[in-house]
Amino acid sequence: MKDVLIIQDVSSFGKCSTTVALPIISASGVTGSILPTSLLSTHTGPEFPGFTFLDLFENMKATLDHWVDLGIKFDAVYTGYLGMIEHVDLLLEYIPRLLKDDGEIFIDPAFADNGEYYHGFDEEYGKAQLRLVEIADYVFPNLSEASLMLGLDYKSIDPNNTKDVNDVLDLLLKAGAKNAILTGVRENDQIGARLKTSDNETYTSLETYITQNFHGTGDVFASVVVGNYLRTGNIHDAIDLAVKFVPEAIKATLEDENPITYGVHFEKVLHLLTNH
Ligand code: PXL
């Protein structure tokens, strides 16, 4: 059984990052180990003013040293929201020591949406994420994260335009990623993701767009891809499944008697991942 190290914050309330990634990876039939980067009372979205934030840098370093001493190695590393630029430097130092020789690195930059940095992040944080892209086997930015990392004008990139999307994917590959998956790609009334590999192969997967934005869908998407790909080895099927899973989780959220917007009820559709 494969074991992926999930490196993200713990938002105690709010359905994102580790509390989303771990159940999705487990349902996918892959072991999830966790390295919490920070502990927050909630995520940093506008629904939760006044959130608390505890940086776990020292604990990360002690944990990583303990694992190195024990000789623990992972089949994959999957990073998402971290919190501090120092986390990036620490991970660049330790990932090579903790990854098996044929291990793979999944980087979800997770720092922006709608062209804006998440609360507390700035250009320097975005540029630090680009240093993780350099070592990525797969990178999963949305259009906001890709354009902010690459210094492109977010508003001038049309997610409906194949050339615009391919240009962004090419720049992510040029930045060092072996494979790039851009999320939020559009085709008329459809939304999804497009993959481009270093061999210049492209693959697009789309589903009908539900015209409402929900927090945490990027974390859901990346976690479904990572879990399913690690179990099956088929990246196209993993992307198709994630593109289908996100709108199903949104529908389940809308059907709830108390619809929330700060996260999605992925728990209601986990069964879509467990047929293995
Ligand atoms: O869903 C990404 C995410 C993860 N973790 C924290 C966040 C966000 C998005 O805002 O604030 C703490």
Structure tokens at 84: 């501090």
Residue 204 Cα to ligand 1 midpoint, Å, equals: 26
pLDDT at residue 211 greater than cutoff 80:
no
Residues 30-83: tens digit of each pLDDT: 999 999 999 999 999 999 999 999 999 999 999 999 999 999 999 999 999 999
Mean pLDDT, to the nearest integer, of 92-110? 98
Task: For 149-170, write each residue's pLDDT tens digit.
Answer: 999 999 999 999 999 999 999 9
Cα–Cα separations (whole angstroms), residue 223 to 60, 132, 220, 262: 21, 17, 5, 18
Give the number of the atom of ligand 1 that is nearest the alpha carbon of residue 219. Answer: 1
Atom of ligand 1 nearest to the CA of 118: 10
- Expressed in angstroms and rounded, the spacing between residue 88 Cα and the centre of ligand 1 is 16
The chain-wide mean pLDDT, for the chain, equals 97
CATH, residue 41: 3.40.1190.20
Segment 131-146 shows an average pLDDT of: 98
Confidence (pTM): 0.98
Q: How far apart (Å, rounded) are the C-alpha atoms in residues 274 and 248?
A: 15
131 Cα to the center of ligand 1, angstroms: 20
Our count of domains for the chain comes to 1
CA 133 / ligand 1 centre spacing (Å): 19
- The 10 Å CB-count burial string (b at 16+, else e) for 8-21 is bbbbeebbbbbbbb
Q: Whose CA is nearest to atom 12 of ligand 1?
A: 43
40 Cα nearest atom in ligand 1: 12
Domain with 163, as residue range(s), is: 3-274
Pocket, ligand 1, Cβ cutoff 6 A: 9, 11, 16-17, 40, 43-45, 81, 110, 118, 216, 218-219
Of ligand 1's atoms, which has the minimum distance to the CA of residue 44?
11
